[in-house]
Amino acid sequence: MRLRRDDPIEVKSPAQLAIMREAGLVTAAALQAAAAAAEPGISTAELDAIAEREIRSAGATPSFKGYHGYPATICTSVNDQIVHGIPDPAQILTAGEIISIDCGAIVGGWHGDSALTIRVGQAQAGAGHQLSLHGEHDQHGGSPPDELDALLSACERALWHGLAQAAPGRRLTDISHAIEQAARAAGRYGIVREYTGHGIGSQMHMDPAVPNYGRAGRGPVLTPGMALAIEPMLVLGAAATRLLEDGWTVVTADGSWAAHFEHTVAITDDGPFVLTAEDGGASGFAALRSGTEMRLGTTSRPRAVGAVGARNGI
Ligand code: MF3
Ligand code: CO
């Protein structure tokens, strides 16, 4: 996608944001359904089918399918895959692996986009990231569970620090800077630079690009009605990426494992409202303020949104 610096950022009306909220909830429900099924022995293609069924049963449309020829409803990026991995019936998940699941849905022409990364088999465990899987990880390229948990929680935390900056009067790179600061404070992670978050609304990818690093205080001033998809990608090794022959799958150049978390957030008069979080982001921001552990991607399963006609006030 070509981003022109001078393209205005789409500003949504309250009614349009209400439809984006529906798209966000459908996206969240599909993502949680796929994540809950990410157990050893399942294929990434089966996860894709689960997400697609969830989206279509809500009367919504998968946004990734057909996007520049992309063949699936979700992206499934396993281990050293960072983003845009294509679901495959031959790709069977095993214990000790990590998987980023990225999902998007369209309701009434408006988009939601969200991703999370989990350890295979840990989606339903609640505080299960504290459970030990010692001995189960692959010694040939795998990483110890504690190191993976730290990576995942650093990336999710960095996302929430970025989301917290999506408030009226902030500048775009306040988000970027907050993500980078949080990632650096969490450990010696590589911060992927070649892929960014993005504006979102009547299309999935819109201006502005939202880098996950940089100086604060630059770029457009954020105003109510804008919406952004914020999506940090952190890796255990170096940040350099490589594109596989399939033209989609982005992997780390050094083979180190990667985490990716994403939410769609609306800038409102009252501050950030996380359209793809069931509670609008309340528990995520609370965890950020109190400094408590967050694995929000795995804590609750949003209720299904049955009808496209239903309006969720935000
Ligand atoms: N959340 C991903 C992104 O913004 C969605 C990619 S969808 C695909 O890059 F269709 F391009 F794969
Ligand atoms: Co996105």
Give the pLDDT of residue 1.
46
Cβ(48) – ligand 1 distance below 6 Å: no
C-alpha to C-alpha distance for 31 and 35, rounded to whole angstroms: 6
Cβ(66) – ligand 1 distance below 6 Å: no
pTM of the model: 0.90
| CA-204 nearest atom, ligand 1 | 4
Task: Give the Å distance between the CA of 104 and the centre of ligand 2.
Answer: 8
Residue nearest to atom 8 of ligand 1 (CA): 64
| CA-229 nearest atom, ligand 1 | 4
The answer to whether the Cα torsion of 28, 195, 176, 192 is positive or negative is: positive
Residue with structure tokens 């609304």? 201
- Ligand 1: which of 3, 61, 64 to mutate, most ligand atoms within 8 Å of CB? 64
| CA-115 nearest atom, ligand 1 | 1
Is 93 in contact with 104 (CB distance < 8 Å)? no
Which ligand number lies closest to the CA of residue 69? 1
Closest CA to 28 of 261, 285, 202, 257: 261
- Ligand 1: which of 70, 111, 195, 204 to mutate, most ligand atoms within 8 Å of CB? 204
Residue nearest to atom 7 of ligand 1 (CA): 64
302 prior amide bond cis, ω within 30: no
Which ligand number lies closest to the CA of residue 64? 1
Contacts of 59 (CB under 8 A, 6+ apart): 107, 307, 308
Report strand pairing: 74-78 vs 98-107.
antiparallel
Give the pLDDT of residue 5.
58
| CA-113 nearest atom, ligand 1 | 1
Domains and CATH numbers, the chain: 14-298 (3.90.230.10)
Cβ(129) – ligand 1 distance below 6 Å: no
Which positions of the chain have pLDDT values less than 50?
1-3, 125-140, 296, 298-314
Give the pLDDT of residue 214.
98
Give the pLDDT of residue 4.
53
| CA-67 nearest atom, ligand 1 | 10
Task: Give the Å distance between the CA of 204 and the centre of ligand 2.
Answer: 7
Cβ(262) – ligand 1 distance below 6 Å: yes
Task: Give the Å distance between the CA of 82 and the centre of ligand 1.
Answer: 12
Task: Give me the torsion for CA of 211, 117, 22, 202, rounded to 10°.
Answer: 30
